[in-house]
Amino acid sequence: MTPRNFPRKALALALSAIVFAAAAPALSFAQAVPAASMQAASMNGSPSKLVLDNTQRVLATLESRRAEFTRDRAALSRFITSEFDAMFDREHAARLVLGRHARGAAEADVKLFGDALAENLLQRYGSSLLDFNTRLQVRIRSETPLPRDAGVRVASELLRSGGDPIPVDYLMRRVGNEWRVFDVMVEGVSMVQIFRQQFDNELQRKSIRQVAGELRSGQLRATAD
């Protein structure tokens, strides 16, 4: 059961924080994808197939190891971090969040900020995945190219029993031979844009390294509420 006061954006971000956690454990690829989209989505390595495959595997693990993760939050943290690292393009997302502040910034500082933001998000939202029923379903609505060959947008919906669907879109790009997520849009609102607005004032007054340090220490908190 979803906690009564858990914001819809925070729910979707908690699911997205470990990348694609949105489908019921027993949901098959054939059930989740409309017949008209089956051929395109079943292409080896397609972003849509990655969304579905990863959601099934991740939520199946959360369900099967729920008791263990409840007792051992360190094990949950390791699991979440490994999933996040495998699929999220931290440095590209960090540059987008930093926006104009990234111009001329050292690569090491951008990486430091990206790592600190990811850790802050996972600490804030990761454990909340145990607080609600993970038996959700995902419906893939479309997979479309982004302008200027920037990647693809996989549009999906989180289907909840007794609740309205929550639109969640994943923006992905090729990194070598892999597809990586660099932004998540919940109900049409970009998480990158939310965090860019959230940290802009801080970055006007402080260096990227200082803001990263405050994210790591907990003085600053990334929030999707």
Positions of the chain with pLDDT under 70: 1-45, 56, 125-128, 131-136, 224-225
- What domains appear along the chain, each with residue ranges and CATH number? 8-214 (3.10.450.710)
Calculate the CA 53 to chain-centre distance.
15
pLDDT on residue 80: 79
Taking only the tens place, the pLDDT of each residue in 92-103 is 999 999 999 999
What global pTM score does this model have? 0.78
For the beta sheet containing 178-186, the strands, ordered from the edge strand earlier in sequence to the opposite edge, are: 137-145, 152-159, 166-175, 178-186, 189-190
pLDDT on residue 9: 57
With tokens 């059961």, the residue in question is: 1
DSSP result, 119-174: HHHHHHHGGGGGGS----EEEEEEEEEPGGG--EEEEEEEE-TTS--EEEEEEEEE
